[in-house]
Structure 1
Amino acid sequence: MKLLHPKTWSRAALFALPVLVAQVAVTQLQSDMGFSALSTVMAQDKQPDQRETRRTPALRAKVYEKLSEAQVAAEAKDMKTAQKLLDELIGAGGKNELNSYELANVWNMYAFIYYERGDYANALKAYERVIAQPDIPLAMEINTRFTVAQLYFVQEQWQKGINALNEWFKMTDSPNPDAYVLLAQGYYQLKDYDKALSNVEKAISMHNQRQADKPAAERKPAKEQWYNLARFLYFEKNDVKNTVAMLEILLTYYPKKDYWVQLSHMYGEQKKEKEQLAAMDTAYVQGVLDKGTEQVTMAYLYLNGELPYYAAKVMDKGLKDGSIEDTSKNWEITGGAWRQAQEVDKSIPAMEKAAAKSDSGELYARLGNIYLDGDQNEKAIDAINKGLSRGGVRRPDTARLVLGMAYFNTKQYAKARDAFQAAAKDKRSQEYASQWIKFMDSELERQRSLAEG
């Protein structure tokens, strides 16, 4: 039997990347902006500047007080009041009275308000105005440039996001792994998989190096979506070995059904049939294979591993609880598995359902064979005749051989001879049919001798 049903696997769908860059960027922005805008600015101002010294204008008390009021309103989700206070700062000529650092703080808070409203386009414009101010603290510029890059990604302006992020990399002394992942996802969207892969690999490597310095009990794995992105990119490059490695890591830290199914498939591509079966079996035992197609795949893997009894059990359970579709093909798989497991009594009802749901006579011919194995000769005769009359039997000659045997067992010798002679017209069955005719003639002669004696 074939290893897998031809429609069981959809390679592209099975290994599709579930993470969307825009969603990741929004999540990261929400994390970055979880604190108040003004306190962020003040914290940036205190960060040591290792690359250059800038003479930043002072933030005057009256401006600071106004910004603090706006911040309190923003934290209370009163964005209308917060924006009104900011408008007062730059309105009626106030904009010309503010120095560059004060303006940077105002635009930074405007950006925060726009972001909270989901107005990413205006938030981006406001952040660009922050960067445009001269002599702002380097830390403030660096952090704002990173946020600008994220907002480009949120708006699916991938190339602009990549460009902004690369500018940020030039300015920062200590890029974190998340930044490399964001860059990788940008390149992924542009289908530049080589650059995407090199960046996500760097992120994972950086994370693991940092974790190595911590006590074992405090170490954490890299994020699931990082390994997932690497897994997808290796798969797209047909790098089966590293795809498997990523899936094994994902299952170590983030065990999920999809990863077991994918790993089983990849073991199959490596011709590792035992590992392929074991991976899928693990998922089945855990009860996570809830789709009928997955359970049918499990049955095929059992059959390929010469475990027909387990294949039949999987199919039988799925058909009974409705998780496997009630089709002729699925009942055929079940019946065939029970027969291979020498469970003829269980094979018969499954094949009866398979034949009844089929438009072809093939399954009736096969059912007749099973009836013969179970010494149900009259049913075998009925099934095979039904199959031959319906048409579509792949080997009519073999079916007629079975029909002849069933007639012989019921002592319908003339009909048995007709069936064997019809089978003998096909060269593939000619010799076997002739042997049966000779055997039948010999048996009839023996019976006559006994009767005469």
Structure 2
Amino acid sequence: MKQLSIILCLFFASLFSVSLKAADTSISPATYEALNDVQEYLQQEDYINAQELLDKLQSRLKPSFGLALVHQLYGQLYLAQENTLAAIQQFENALKLDVFAVGQESALATNVAQLYLSIEKTDDAIAALSSRMPKLLGDEKKAQQTQKKQDQDKSLIKPITFATLGMAYHIKGDYNNVITWVPEALAREKKSGNQPKENWLQILALAYYERKQYQSAADTLKQLIAIKPDNEDYWVQRASMFQLLEQPGNTLKVLETAYAADKLTKDQNLMLLVQLLINQGIPERGARILKEQLLAQNIEMTESNWRLLASAWQLSRQRQDAIVALSQASEAMSDGSLLLRAARLAVQDNRHAQATVLIQKALDKGLEDNDSANALLLAGSSHFELQHYADARRYFQRALKQPDSATSAKTWLDYIATVEEYL
């Protein structure tokens, strides 16, 4: 809290200095000197003398600009002593005198609101600004009309005023008012030639999301990405907004851009990209990314991930790559079911020699009864295609002993016998 007090004291010291220079002719030389003395006491942390001099000034000054500055310095004094509520009261006393120019008034009101937020008095923070905002905006418009033409677009109320009010409404969960005030803060910040503040954009994006204004949320997240491209969450959140808008093409575009820029690193985000590529009919690219990330160990080498890789290769008609993926996935399994699946792919690709090797590995690792019967038949037929009739007969004879494959095995054995008669 002391650090906050010091920062605010410095701010109010600056504000006091500006106010005093602007009002040299509206206060007496004696008051001017006394106020400067108070300022020096505060800088020296001589709070006793500062208090005594302020008490004297307050007792003799009528409501005026000078008295407003006295209240302001009282506020600085209390802040330095970490008495926030007393400081707020003095700053509000200064504002009630209604003697400040619009820029000074808005700055002081903003800091009152920030002080209320620092002690978790959100409703008071909102009241400190929202009640004054119509007057401040009206005064700003009048003041701008009296300025030189080239200065009429200059904002007298600083962006932080609107952002502070928006932040207070954010804490309150009033997202409609966040959407009212934070964009104004951002617009004024842009007009000043400054980069938008990250935390302002964050609360605005959240407000749009809560109000189901997903396109506006996506646009705001685009601005966040522009200022913090290394923040992976912003990329994924923007992609999520397009998912909510049922725009899978834009969702994929955001994630692919992030991946190309090396901004996707988290396992779940990489998997989201892979699954989107597969679902959007680009399984080969999904498979290549998944394989690359598995080998780099950025994605966990689980059975389910290897299965997904195999499926992606299958969908892209890259059967040999699918076979490799299934073989690797089988290492994490207690049975040979994935090896049998790989063998079926090898048969579809007319790779019968490879199929026989995979089937034997599957049988060695263990299969359910039905899978075992099918594996024996597949091994026998593959050896037959290779004209390895003795090996084929051996597998069919084993299949003959299993109820699920006995009939088919007998047919095959009879056929082999017929073929061998003509050799």
Range of TM-score over shorter length? 0.7 to 0.9
Separation in 1 of the partners of 2:227 and 2:23?
39
- Once the two structures are TM-superposed, the CA of residue 251 in structure 1 deviates from its matched residue by 4.8
> Which residue of the other structure, out of 243, 264, 270, is the alignment partner of 1:289?
264
Report the TM-score when normalising by structure 2: 0.73
Once residues 52 and 412 of structure 2 are traced to their aligned partners in structure 1, the CA distance between those partners, rounded to angstroms, is 111
**3-state secondary structure, aligned to 2:281:** coil
1:36 partner SS:
helix
2:176 aligned with 1:194: yes
Of 14, 38, 45, the residue aligned with 1:80 is: 45
Contact 1:404 1:417 in 2 (8 A): no
C-alpha distance in structure 1 between counterparts of 2:305 and 2:316, whole Å: 17
154-163 or 177-186, which moves further after superposition? 177-186
Counterpart Cα distance in 2 of 1:324 and 1:79: 60
Q: Distance in 2 between matches of 1:118 and 1:312?
A: 61
* Structure 1 match to 2:148: none
Q: Give 1:80's aligned amino acid.
A: E
**Is 1:161 matched up with 2:161?**
no
Amino acid at match of 1:415: R
Q: SS of the residue aligned with 2:298?
A: coil
Q: Does 1:301 align with 2:276?
A: yes
184, 197, 203: which one aligns with 2:166:
184
The aligned amino acid for 1:300 is Q
Aligned: 1:149 with 2:131: no
* Alignment-mate amino acid for residue 186 of structure 1: A
- Specify which of 349, 368, 381 is matched with residue 408 of structure 1: 381
Does the Cα contact within 8 Å between 1:327 and 1:357 map onto a contact in 2? yes
The aligned runs of 1:372-387 (5 Å cut-off) are 375-383=354-362, 386=365
Tell me the alpha carbon deviations over residues 140-162 of structure 1, each in whole angstroms, 9 at most, x when there is no partner.
Answer: 55543332122222333221111
The question of whether the paired residues in 2 share the 8 Å contact of 1:408 and 1:416 is answered with: no
**2:412 alignment counterpart:** 440
- C-alpha spacing 1:386/1:121, structure 2 compared with 1 (3 Å): farther
Checking the alignment, whether the CA contact within 8 Å between 1:367 and 1:383 is kept in structure 2 is: no
**CA 1:220–1:340 in structure 2 vs 1: closer, same or farther (change >3 Å)?**
same
Matching of residues 68-217 of structure 1 within 5 Å: 68-72=36-40, 78=43, 80-81=45-46, 83-90=47-54, 95-101=58-64, 102-112=66-76, 115=79, 120-131=84-95, 134=97, 136-137=99-100, 139=102, 143-172=107-136, 173-174=139-140, 175=157, 177-203=159-185, 207=188, 211=191
What is the deviation of 1:296?
Answer: 1.5
Question: Secondary structure in 1 aligned to 2:90?
Answer: helix
Q: Deviations over 1:47-86 (max 9, x none)?
A: xxxxxxxxx9x54434433432443565xxx4523x3441
1:153-188 per-residue CA deviation (whole Å, 9 max, x = no partner) reads 233322111111122214312255543333233222
Identify unmatched segments of 5+ residues in structure 1: 1-25, 47-55, 212-217, 390-395, 425-433
In the TM superposition, residue 444 of structure 1 has moved relative to its aligned partner by 1.9
CA deviations 1:305-360 (Å, max 9, x no partner) are 33334323322332333322343333333344345455555545543443333467
Q: 1:222 Cα shift? A: 5.2
How much does 1:127 deviate? Answer: 1.7
Shift of 1:288: 1.0
The residue number in structure 1 matching 2:151 is none
Hey, what does 2:308 align to over in structure 1?
333
Deviation at 1:231, TM superposition (A): 2.6
Contact 1:45 1:137 in 2 (8 A): no
Asked if 1 retains the 8 angstrom alpha-carbon contact of 2:307 and 2:325, the reply is: yes
Give the secondary structure class of the aligned counterpart of 1:422.
Answer: coil
- Higher alpha-carbon deviation: 160-169 or 134-143: 134-143
Distance in 2, Cα, partners of 1:254 & 1:198: 24
Q: What is the CA–CA distance in structure 2 between the aligned matches of 1:61 and 1:241, rounded to whole Å?
A: 59
* Counterpart residue number, 2:254: 279
SS of 1:107's equivalent?
A: helix
Deviations 1:235-272 (A, max 9, x none): 21223333334344555676454333223223333343
Q: Tell me: CA distance 1:106–1:362, structure 2 relative to 1, closer, same or farther (3 Å).
A: farther
Q: Contact 1:364–1:386 (CA<8 Å) still a contact in 2?
A: no
Q: Distance in 2 between matches of 1:161 and 1:361?
A: 67
Give the SS at the match of 2:132: helix
Residues 445 and 79 (structure 1), Cα distance of their counterparts in 2 relative to 1, 3 Å cut: farther
Against the structure 1 CA distance between its residues 142 and 250, is the aligned structure 2 distance closer, same or farther, given a 3 Å change threshold? closer
Conserved 8 A contact 1:364-1:383: yes
Letter in 2 for 1:96: S
CA–CA separation in structure 1 for the residues paired with 2:20 and 2:208: 43
Q: State the distance in 1 between where 2:89 and 2:341 align.
A: 73
- CA gap of 1:207–1:336, structure 2 versus 1, over 3 A, is same
Indicate the residue corresponding to 1:11 in structure 2: none
How far, CA to CA, are the matches of 2:272 and 2:278 in structure 1? 10
Q: Is the 8 A contact 2:9 2:76 kept in 1?
A: no
Q: Distance in 1 between matches of 2:48 and 2:73?
A: 12
SS of equivalent to 1:388 = coil
One-letter amino acid of the counterpart of residue 36, structure 2: S
1:232 corresponds in structure 2 to 206
Is contact 2:12-2:72 (8 Å) kept? no
Alpha-carbon displacement from aligned partner over 1:336-385 (angstroms, at most 9, x marks no partner): 43454555555455434433334677545545545666524233233256
Residue 414 and residue 192 in structure 1: after superposition, are their counterparts in 2 closer, same or farther (change >3 A)?
same
Q: Match for 2:178: what amino acid?
A: A
How far residue 191 of structure 1 moved from its aligned partner, in angstroms, is 2.0
Q: Is the 8 A contact 1:73 1:79 kept in 2?
A: yes
- Partner Cα separation in structure 1 for residue 121 and residue 401 of structure 2: 77
Structure 2: gaps of 5 or more residues = 141-156, 384-391
Percentage of identical aligned residues: 22
Matched-pair contact (CA < 8 Å) for 1:110–1:126 = yes
- Identify which of structures 1 and 2 has the higher relative contact order when contacts are C-alpha pairs closer than 8 Å and 6+ apart: 1
1:36 corresponds to: 14
Query: 2-side partners of 1:103 and 1:59: how far apart?
Result: 9
Q: Which amino acid aligns with 1:449?
A: E
Indicate conservation of the 8 Å contact 2:294/2:301, yes or no. yes
